Structure 1
Amino acid sequence: MAERADIKDFLTTRRARLTPEQAGLPDFGGRRRVPGLRREEVALLAGMSVEYYVRLERGNASGVSGSVLDGISRALQLDDAEHAHLHDLVSAANDGKRPSRRRTRTGYRQISENMQRTLDAMYTVPAYVQNGRLDIVATNALGRAMFSEMYVDEHRPANFARFLFLDSRSPSFYFDWEDAARQTVALLRSEAGRAPHDRALSDLVGELSTRSHAFRTRWASHDVREHRTGIKEIHHPAVGDLHLTYEAMNPTSDRGILFVVYTAEPGSASHERLQLLANLTATNPSAPQDYPSR
């Protein structure tokens, strides 16, 4: 039943955000009872009967083909992350099995010694490994130093979502807390589609929903995204403002985790501050959270 409800809520929220004009349909005016597109308009754009689309939006995904989902994705103008999420939701509703391309899971576990050595060798850039629940599974010294505020709390594993929504330090740590919150929830929502039976993920979402109104309202939006490349802007307590870019990669040995590396533009103030943080880390590698505030 939860999977069927997720399909309904996801399609409803995607439909509500798209106007007839944006979809290339004529708007004959008059009062519309629902925001965005009507169900019959989505069905028209997707090339299917209204009855068929209504059945799917109510969560009945039995026998729905990939081509049908592709048509709905085009009609609702879904991006790649949303398109993949819709496929995941339908797969979970049908039989609880993940597609082979997404079969690996993201339980908290130790990484291989070789991967840890690779992390440790990258001493000039912050790098870490995270799972789909946004737990930090492993990190190098500079990565731990960069996110030292997350390690003040003794809860382990350190988790980006828990820090952002439950730790009073997060609003001063992130330049744009609202954007970080929106992206974090969207990443967790994507993972929930891939791993609907992950008990640890369900527990995390339940904890955040119970303790954080900010999380609860964003979770209801059903937004999703993938974590591949982007910009991270933070205020570090030791070295000040850092404007960094990141790349996230799936190790070939385990697609259930991401290898994330941050860099700064050479010659920039952020590059100099990152070098300073590396020097501080080299002299005090065991307790990066004890740096004096700046």
Structure 2
Amino acid sequence: MGLRPNPTQRQRRLGIELRKLRDASGMNGVTAGAYAGLGPQHLGHIEAARTGIPEEKLRALLAAYGCNSKTKAEALVAMSQSTGKGWWSDYRKGPIPPSARDLAELEAMSAGHRSFQWMHIPGLLQTTEYMRALFEGGQPSAPPDDIDTFVNFRQKRQSILTRHDPPDFHAVIHEAALRMRMVSTSVMRRQIEHLVEMARLPHIRVQILPFDADVFPTGFGTTFVLFDHVVPELSTAYVEQPVSSPFISDQEQYRRFADSFQYLTRAALDPIDPNVEPEFYKRRDSLALIQHLLYTM
């Protein structure tokens, strides 16, 4: 069997975690591989995600490395045994890039999503007409069929929020995203109304970060999503950039983003609570700002 030319994010993450465990144990490739009947070159290919590893050999490595957490061990085994196939597999041919398919798989696997957006409404909370307007405006030369594919792919990603076991979803959205005129006023109005409706779901929390929030802006110049795993050290940060959108598995860097998100939640207005009548609000909150925006549109 040949080596993988383009490993997925999940496969790369498994290799990274195995290398971290081996380094922590102080073993070299020869010693570690011997515990599982693997040559050092083969083990190197596994750690580089160029090839897979059978379950029994993986468990032998984990035991040799002193991985005493049963939860973590089972999570790593699950990562290794997963076929990676899901609805996103139907998009291997076409305009959807591999990173977007990796994102869909990561979303499906995560127990919680924490998102900061300052220019757009988070993709999982977008209406169809809003996302279509963004795709058409951002890629004016794209064929109509490609735009349809982009929209369809994002719609399918959104299904995780309405499945029987949805992840906890917490979004901090800058006020700028609500005032942008990249879409028509009518589209933006319906998008904001949809945002409030989605906030009615018990697992979705939405906060608005107003322009006059007391935050230092240069620390949050990029949007990001934190994907929380049931095993905290397997959590991932996804940083959106124009050129590339890297998945960050380094836990020190992940914690920096997690700390930033906590800072943003403290600076943002109280979460949208559409179940409370507006006249009962006695302080500034996210719903009050949204109602003001809808009134002035």
Q: Taking structure 2 as the reference length, what is the TM-score of the superposition? A: 0.35
Q: Taking structure 1 as the reference length, what is the TM-score of the superposition? A: 0.35
